[in-house]
Amino acid sequence: MRAIQGKAAVLLMAALLLGGCGSSSSPSSPAASPGPGTATTGAVNPGAPTITIKDFEYGAPLTVAPGALVTVTNVDAAGHTVTADQGKAFDVDVKGSGGTATFTAPSAPGSYPYHCAYHPNMHGTLTVK
């Protein structure tokens, strides 16, 4: 009798677990929604971290939060890119004469050196922490 009760309990647990799984996955594409605590409004953030390219230089090193939206402004006449040295952490093309672009900073903390694909002597570093 005791064994049967135990089996029944296990079956009940399994049913509950399955039910829980089914109900939690019913909303469409939960992976697409931002994590909790992320203030993603889509509006322009005046305090957004910005890399300003001027005179073929990226300016002072920039430190941003993981996953931050980074804006790049290029005041040179020439076009530039912000291309991560390793992997494909980020890579944006920024047109000259005031062109802008945005990219999402890596989610993993660390130091991300980058360069310009057109001018290999241009180097900068993005720090994520």
Mark 81-120 as b/e (b = at least 16 C-beta within 10 Å).
bbbbeeeebbebbbeeeebebebebbeeeeebebbbeeee
119 contributes a contact to Cu ion by CB under 5 A: yes
118 contributes a contact to Cu ion by CB under 5 A: yes
Q: Which is nearer to Cu ion, 71 or 76 (CB)?
A: 76
Q: Closest Cα to residue 94, out of 119, 120, 117, 74?
A: 74
Q: Which is nearer to Cu ion, 66 or 96 (CB)?
A: 96
Closest distance of CB 121 from Cu ion, Å: 9
Closest distance of CB 77 from Cu ion, Å: 11
Q: Which is nearer to Cu ion, 62 or 122 (CB)?
A: 122
DSSP state of 82: E
Q: Residue from 71, 74, 80, 115 that binds Cu ion (CB under 5 A)?
A: 80
115 contributes a contact to Cu ion by CB under 5 A: no
Q: How far apart are CA 10 and CA 18, in angstroms?
A: 12
- For the chain, helix (H) and strand (E) counts, in that order, are 1, 8
Q: How far apart are CA 69 and CA 128, in angstroms?
A: 12
Q: Residue from 116, 124, 126, 128 that binds Cu ion (CB under 5 A)?
A: 116
Closest distance of CB 95 from Cu ion, Å: 11
By CB under 5 A, name the binding residues for Cu ion. 80, 116, 118-119, 122
